[in-house]
Amino acid sequence: MSTYTRRKFLRDAAVAGAAVSAISTPLKVLAAEKRSTVRIGMIGVGLRGQSHLDEFLKRADVEIVAMADPDKNMMAMAQKIVAQYKKKSPVEYTNGNYDYKNLVMRNDIDAVLIASPWEWHIEQALAAVNAGKKAGVEVCGAIKLQDCWDIVQAVEKTKAPVMMMENVCYRRDVMAVMNMVQQGLFGDLLHLQGGYEHDLREVLFNNGTDGGPGVGFGDHGFSEAKWRTNHYVNRNGELYPTHGLGPVACMIDVNRGNRLTALSSISTKPKGLHRFVVNNPLGGPNHPNAKVMFKEGDIVTTQIQTANGETIVLTHDTSSPRPYNLGFRVQGTNGLWIDNHAGGFDEGMIYFEDKSPKKHTWENTKAYMEQYDHPLWKKFSKDAEGAGHGGMDFFVDNAFIECLKRDADFPLDVYDLATWYAITPLSEKSISEGGTLQQIPDFTAGKWQNRKAVFGRSDEY
């Protein structure tokens, strides 16, 4: 594909120019490619899986061998995307919820990409690694804490690694800030915030057929409304921690010289989803869903402590009308960054004691974001054009594939997945106990003290 060709050219150019490179972040020497093509099985080809599929199909180094999904409509949409790229039709596994077990047993796939409903992630990842397949797993929180231990132990036993597919770690402004962190602009990091502050009401409810307006969910919902909304009926916790936590965890080297030690969570009353159903012209006070008791508090706050003395505050805020914001704040002894909207270079405030021209006065972020644009973004921004979520999806998929080609360590691995996923059941337990303190397990069993950071340190992914 032309994208891949251009990327190859850029890579060669970068290697040739390495001696005079302006790249300022220390980058690792690359592992050699062990294979030129990676054979992938997709588990879950709903809208999110289709987005990964699209990224993979653009590449000459990926072959989509098989796809599993019990939803035949989604499977048909996925096959249509494959056809648009004029690639070979992958083998389908659509025979119920457990047909993925047959997919992972195939001998002609190297890895699976899991983008199914939350409640299936760990079960399917376990099946994959137990079948010796590497796995990329989409974001969410664990259903129960034991899931996190199970996937860690399975990876340690089988040596089939798992990548945590957290795309927001690759958001352009986030990576620029990480670059600033590594170059010491913030001084010693002290306090970080992140969250998922995104009005999801029109995702959680729809008409059940094509995602158009409506107040249906579950059997009467389309796409995420089919399964995500039920988590709001049955659970109260930080349901979606990784977009907020992942980026800041990378900045303070969690599981690589640092670790999360404890959390406590609190939640507001649940008001927003009921209000949405009742006030919706397609719902109303007499609609059956107006009788549903939602358990998930509208805003869930989680405060987290770390071994190295930083603190983190996470916010889950998806049931209320509000502009999108992941609410990042990165603060150190020399200054701080606050993210006010959706990642645009000029959508934040920043201040550094030794750089900002006017004492006690915010600067706009734009000039800093441009100056500290991460080397990976400088190199691949053209390739990322058109990829999902402002381009960041290109990077997370690229990292997955490039690591598979090299048998290299994933930059975000099973310990990250377990630690980040664990926030959800621990937050649920904390809230159910009135806000009690919960210890966060060390899934690395002490290895965090010597593990080295990988994320954002490679020249290639």
Residues engaged in binding a second copy (CB under 8 A): 187-188, 190-191, 199, 262, 264, 266-269, 271-272, 275, 297-299, 301, 303-305, 308-311, 313, 317, 320-324, 331-336, 338, 340-341, 349, 351-353, 360-362, 434-437
d(CA 375, CA 14): 11
Contact (Cβ atoms closer than 8 angstroms) between residue 328 and residue 350: no
| Minimum separation from the CB atom of position 395 to a second copy (A) | 25
| Minimum separation from the CB atom of position 282 to a second copy (A) | 17
Among candidate residues 236, 222, 319, the one with its CA nearest the CA of residue 279? 319
d(CA 119, CA 146): 13
Q: Which two tokens stand for residue 315?
A: 């916010």
Q: Which is nearer to a second copy, 87 or 366 (CB)?
A: 366
Q: Which is nearer to a second copy, 212 or 309 (CB)?
A: 309
Among candidate residues 376, 384, 442, the one with its CA nearest the CA of residue 415? 442
Contact (Cβ atoms closer than 8 angstroms) between residue 259 and residue 252: no
Q: Which is nearer to a second copy, 96 or 434 (CB)?
A: 434
| Minimum separation from the CB atom of position 384 to a second copy (A) | 24
| Minimum separation from the CB atom of position 358 to a second copy (A) | 9
| Minimum separation from the CB atom of position 194 to a second copy (A) | 14
Q: Which is nearer to a second copy, 242 or 267 (CB)?
A: 267
Amino acid letter, 255? N
| Minimum separation from the CB atom of position 449 to a second copy (A) | 18
Q: Which is nearer to a second copy, 204 or 376 (CB)?
A: 204
* 285-288-289 Cα angle (round to 5): 80
| Minimum separation from the CB atom of position 356 to a second copy (A) | 9
Q: How far is CA 53 from the centre of its chain?
A: 16
Q: Which two tokens stand for residue 172?
A: 């352009």
Strand order of the sheet with strand 260-267? 363-364, 348-352, 335-339, 329-332, 189-197, 311-317, 299-306, 260-267, 438-439
DSSP designation for 258:
B
| Minimum separation from the CB atom of position 308 to a second copy (A) | 8
- Strand partners for 66: 41, 91
Q: Which two tokens stand for residue 372?
A: 């500290």
Q: Which is nearer to a second copy, 123 or 310 (CB)?
A: 310
Q: Which is nearer to a second copy, 419 or 427 (CB)?
A: 427
DSSP assignment of 23-89 equals --S--BPPPPPS-S-EEEEEE--SHHHHHHHHHHHT-TTEEEEEEE-S-HHHHHHHHHHHHHTTPPP
In 309-458, which ranges are continuous DSSP H helix? 366-371, 375-384, 392-406, 414-432
Q: Which is nearer to a second copy, 209 or 311 (CB)?
A: 311
d(CA 324, CA 416): 25
Q: Which is nearer to a second copy, 153 or 340 (CB)?
A: 340
| Minimum separation from the CB atom of position 343 to a second copy (A) | 14
Q: Which is nearer to a second copy, 76 or 437 (CB)?
A: 437
| Residue 322 neighbours by CB under 8 Å, 6+ apart | 197, 199
| Minimum separation from the CB atom of position 319 to a second copy (A) | 9
Neighbours of 290 (CB within 10 A): 16
